[in-house]
Structure formats: C-alpha cells, structure tokens
Structure 1
C-alpha cells in the first residue's frame, strides 16, 4: 500500500520495552510496504498532558468563566490553538491510519496519551454536534489500539477477575475513537509480556508483524453496544 500515511502515537519511556519493540515492528513492516510513517513519541517530545487555558493563544471568549471545551473549539476555528496541538492535529489530518501504542494503565491510556487525546481531539477538529460517531470528522481514517497489559489473558476473559477485555475497551474504542468518526480496527493486545518467556515475547512480535502485512485489508470492528455487551 505504497503512499499510505500512518501516524503512530507512542507512549513509553523505555525503548527496549515491549511497547517500544511493537512500535519498531510497525515502522519496519509498514515502511517496507511503502507507507509514510510519522511517530509522535510523547515522552521524548515531553508532550504536555494537561488541557489548560494556556492552550489558547488568542483572546478568550469568556475570561470570567473558563470552559476548556468551548474555548478550545473557538480557538481551533480561529487558528488560535498553541503550536504543539496544531502540529499534532496536522499529523492526524494527514494520516490514513493512526496506531496508538502504549502500556495499559489502570484499564486505560497512560496519562500522557490521554492528555494528547484531550488536547488534540477538540470539538471542531475531531467532531461537532451532531457530527459525531459515524459522522465524526475523522470518519475517513482508521484507528488501532495496540497495547500491553500487566495481567494475563485469562484475567481479561469473560470469567476472569478483570472481566472481558471488551468492556474496558468500550470507552476507548467507542467513546473516543468511534465518537470522532474513526473506523476502528480490532485491538492488538499483548498480554503480560513482563511475565512471559522469551519465546512468548517473540511470538507477540511475530503475530503483530504478520497482522501488519495485511492490515489494509482488515474490516473495522462493530462499535455498537450489541458487539460489546451481548
């Protein structure tokens, strides 16, 4: 798929981690396909995770009562968001596929990645009302969550102590990605790599590489309640 553009939003501080290795595999496989790869290495960038009034470079609409969502939306329309947000939004606009590579923290994204989402996917850029879910502004793009867990696969099974992993994916895949219009590909879950053998870790990397060989032929998952909760 020569010419396809891929943004990898990456959140891990250790290059030798499983997350780092999965990111490197994605770069290697997709570049060999002729894809153009851009990486947002959030820790290396020292990306600011907190959404504050400093994100708006122009005059506030209502300086007496600050509302981040409203102010960020208006600033986006006026081109008055700070440069780091505008730069990341440009990367998203250019991408055909956005891969989020991260370790699962407390059933969710690491804070730095959640902060990236909070600041980049503002109203007016990623969605509006009633332009959300299937009408979200990123509807022509694919999104994929690739993450590692501390718990084993059994723990995240239907009868496991942590519950079916689809439940914790609901707010991330449906409430964020689908809400912004993304067509969501099935997640790539690498279970408990810290406790696995070298052979098991190798298998995780090989599985990811094999999947990426045909990633452009995959069909998005159903981001609807019945798919998750039936």
Structure 2
C-alpha cells in the first residue's frame, strides 16, 4: 500500500521527529511505499494568496474560491500545490502528524490544507439537488482512502476527558477528523494521541513505539470512526440537519458525537 505522511514540527530532533522516523521505518518494513511531506523542511508556504494561481489576472480582485477553481481545472496551480495533490491521489492512506498547538494543528499544516484542498479537488464537487448535496462528508475524491492523526499534547489525558477542562479529545479534534478528513471522503481512524509529551523517558518511549506500531499495523484493518454520511439518509437535504429519532443511545443529543452512528 501507499502511505503519505504529512508531518508538521519544526525540530527534527524532537519527540515528533523520532515518532515520524519510527512510523516511516515501521511502514516501510512492512512492505509499504512511504512518502513524507515534512512541511517545515520543505519551507512550505502556509498562506493561501494570489501567488497560488499562476495565470491569474493581477488587475482583477482576488477571489480565492473562483481562482482556485479555475487554476485547478486548467492546471495552472502553483507547482507545490499540484505536487501535494498528486501525492494525495497516489496514497491509499494518509497520516497527519503534528503537536496540538492552541487546540488545533500548527499554522503551517492548516495552510497546507487551505492551499492543497483546492476547489474542484477536495470541495465543490458533485451534484446539488433535493436528494444529494455535493460529494462530501463520506464522499469525494478521497473516498476509499484512510486517514489517521498522530497527535502529541502536553496536557494530561484527564484534561481531555469527558469532564476535563479542555473538553473531550474527540471534540477538540472534531474539526479536523470530521471537517478536514471525513468531509472530502476519507475513512477516518481513531486518532493516536500521546499525552504529557514532555514527560518522556526511554521506558515510556519504548511503550509508545509499541502502541503506535500496533496502530500502524492496523492501518487497513482497524475500524474507522462511524461518522454518518451526509447523503446516506440520516440528514434532511438541503437543510443538512440530522433527522429526528437519530439521537444517541439514550435518546439524548450530545454535541459533535451526534454525528457518529451509535449501536442501539
């Protein structure tokens, strides 16, 4: 299988750097082809702007959506964008690895998403009717591919629990797992989250590699998060609201997790 690792950390000798190297070695050792987009090492340009569209009329007002659509359709995107899109097409699975900074991904990785997810590529695709509202949330160009987050955070696991001050980790990461990954069609695996990342010794690092190794071994066999598909019958179209009667197992709607199918 082909695996793309999109990696965002500025220090090669960091814990993240060591985990990224382990991921590449583990996957390659299992016979998979691996490519790494090391965004800091690449000097990735994070800001989406008019320079992303090579044939844009500079005398006209910039319209990021319309210009993105035109550049993608005509093959006139910046070369770094087109290269990453090609890697995404090549990949059967994508691993996004990053430290959790201010409850989200580093700006350089967010910028990767904003530039690479062009109109007509990752969004703005599919028919829009009273029965089907675009190819998204379970459909789209990445349908059939898998994705997983590998995330480090300095907080304790209890800080990200159901009653934790930071909120459940599933909710903190929901804009990424559901919005950035499920939206364009990925089957999203539960994230691998490493808590208290600054408290690491050799013994814990060995355990962490063992745990991460098991997740990497299960990249194609582990069960993805059961996000509801937008056009699968659970949502009213075009309102895109969940139909009545699809609450959680005890009949109570609970925030983001309402959009995950539950066994009753």
State the TM-score, normalized to the length of structure 2: 0.81
Query: Are residues 1:216 and 2:220 paired?
Result: yes
Q: Is the 8 A contact 1:11 1:43 kept in 2?
A: yes
Match of 1:79 among 75, 82, 102: 75
Q: How does 1:1-230 map to 2 (within 5 A)?
A: 4-60=1-57, 63-129=59-125, 130-224=134-228, 228-229=256-257
Unaligned runs of 5+ in 1: none
Deviations 1:149-201 (A, max 9, x none): 01110100011111111111111011111111111111010111102443223
Decide whether aligned partners of structure 1 residues 209 and 85 sit closer, same or farther in structure 2, where only a CA change above 3 A counts. Answer: same
Q: Is the 8 A contact 2:50 2:56 kept in 1?
A: no
1:215 aligns to what SS in structure 2? coil
1:195 aligns to what SS in structure 2? coil
Q: Is the 8 A contact 1:173 1:184 kept in 2?
A: yes
Deviations 1:31-62 (A, max 9, x none): 111110000010000000000000000134x9
Return structure 1 stretches of 4+ with deviation > 2 angstroms: 62-65, 195-202, 223-230
Q: Aligned partners of 2:6, 2:62: CA distance in 1, in Å? A: 29
Q: Provide the alpha-carbon RMSD of the alignment.
A: 1.7
Q: Aligned partners of 1:59, 1:104: CA distance in 2, in Å? A: 35
Q: Aligned partners of 2:227, 2:213: CA distance in 1, in Å? A: 25
2:109 aligns to what SS in structure 1? helix
Q: Aligned partners of 1:116, 1:157: CA distance in 2, in Å? A: 29
Q: Count matched residues.
A: 226
Unaligned runs of 5+ in 2: 126-133, 229-241, 243-247, 249-253, 259-264
Superposed displacement of residue 125, structure 1: 1.0
Q: Aligned partners of 1:202, 1:152: CA distance in 2, in Å? A: 19
**Higher RCO (C-alpha under 8 Å, 6+ residues apart):** 1
- Which protein is richer in helix relative to its size? 1
Superposed displacement of residue 216, structure 1: 1.5
State the TM-score, normalized to the length of structure 1: 0.92
Decide whether aligned partners of structure 1 residues 192 and 63 sit closer, same or farther in structure 2, where only a CA change above 3 A counts. Answer: farther
Q: Aligned partners of 1:41, 1:99: CA distance in 2, in Å? A: 12
